[in-house]
Amino acid sequence: MHSPQVIAVFDFDGTLTYRDSMLAFFRFVAGKRRYYLGMLLLAPWVLAYQLGLCSRKFAKQRFLRFFLKGKSEEALYQLGQSFSVLILPHLLRPQGLARIQWHQQQGHRCVLLTASLPFWTRAWAEARGLQLIATRPEIRQGIFTGCIRGKNCRGKEKVRRLQLALQPTPRHLLYLHAYGDSQGDKALLAWADQAHWKPFEADSCM
């Protein structure tokens, strides 16, 4: 009998971070003045989502279009590289980082599974030795359209994307740790062998 391969899967926003990384990236890209203008103009879409009048994906795309549409893919990844060095370290929970390191020291495969886009998560994940599974941006002729390609990576879509990434290894040969903090992580946590719900919340922001 082979020992199962251990996989540690981490949600990003709220689990490893103190607050939403997407909004922090928008502010980094747009600057303070345009960021607050955008948040004011986009507030009706937040309300529409909360009232059930539009989907989360639709509302999210409104933000992506306002702040990032028309920028080149190359420029957005370059901005993401800078963001990962200058901003993300201040958003991250030290206990979460320590847990990643612990899993890696045990030889476990570590995955960052997030609804955020790779523009602002890829550089950080690569620097930490994490496999990234993220919501996919729609790129046309090297330019970001402001749209999401496929489904938003949350809920059942997280499980589907992870299953694809783990192929062809059968599920019974895997032992899965999952770390999450929101409704969008519950399907993943239910699929895991060990579910860690809001595991780092005692790690308060200084």
Residue 190's CATH number: 3.40.50.1000
What are the C-alpha distances in Å from 143 to residues 68, 113, 136?
10, 24, 14
| Mean pLDDT value across residues 17-42 | 97
What are the C-alpha distances in Å from 68 to residues 76, 102, 148, 158, 183?
8, 36, 12, 24, 26
* Least confident range of 1-5, 78-82, 107-111: 1-5
| Mean pLDDT value across residues 30-52 | 95
Q: Give the tokens for residue 104.
A: 């890696």
| Mean pLDDT value across residues 91-112 | 98
**Residue 168 backbone phi and psi in degrees, to 5:** -95, 15
Does 100 reside within a domain? yes
Does 203 reside within a domain? no
Does 204 reside within a domain? no
Does 205 reside within a domain? no
The helix (H) or strand (E) run that includes residue 61 is: helix 56-68
Q: Give the tokens for residue 76.
A: 């957005």
Q: Measured between alpha carbons, how far is 5 from 115 in angstroms, rounded to an integer?
A: 25
Confidence (pLDDT) at 150: 96
Q: Measured between alpha carbons, how far is 124 from 53 in angstroms, rounded to an integer?
A: 34
Domain count, the chain: 1
pLDDT bucket at 206, cuts 50 / 70 / 90: very low
Does 202 reside within a domain? no
Confidence (pLDDT) at 202: 77
pLDDT bucket at 16, cuts 50 / 70 / 90: very high
Tell me which residue range forms the domain holding 166.
5-197
Q: Give the tokens for residue 22.
A: 């997407």
Q: Measured between alpha carbons, how far is 181 from 29 in angstroms, rounded to an integer?
A: 27
Q: Residue 173 contacts by C-beta under 8 Å, 6 or more apart in sequence? A: 2, 4, 5
Instruction: Yes or no: say if 25 and 63 are a contact pair by the CB < 8 Å rule.
Output: no
| Mean pLDDT value across residues 119-129 | 98
pTM, to two decimals: 0.94
Does 19 reside within a domain? yes
| Mean pLDDT value across residues 169-179 | 96
Q: Measured between alpha carbons, how far is 79 from 192 in angstroms, rounded to an integer?
A: 34
Gyration radius of the chain over CA positions: 17
**Residue 151 backbone phi and psi in degrees, to 5:** -95, 155
Does 12 reside within a domain? yes
Instruction: Yes or no: say if 143 and 68 are a contact pair by the CB < 8 Å rule.
Output: no
Does 206 reside within a domain? no
Q: What is the pLDDT of residues 43-100, one digit of tens each?
A: 999 999 999 999 999 999 999 999 999 999 999 999 999 999 999 999 999 999 999 9
| Mean pLDDT value across residues 25-49 | 96
pLDDT bucket at 200, cuts 50 / 70 / 90: very high
Confidence (pLDDT) at 201: 86
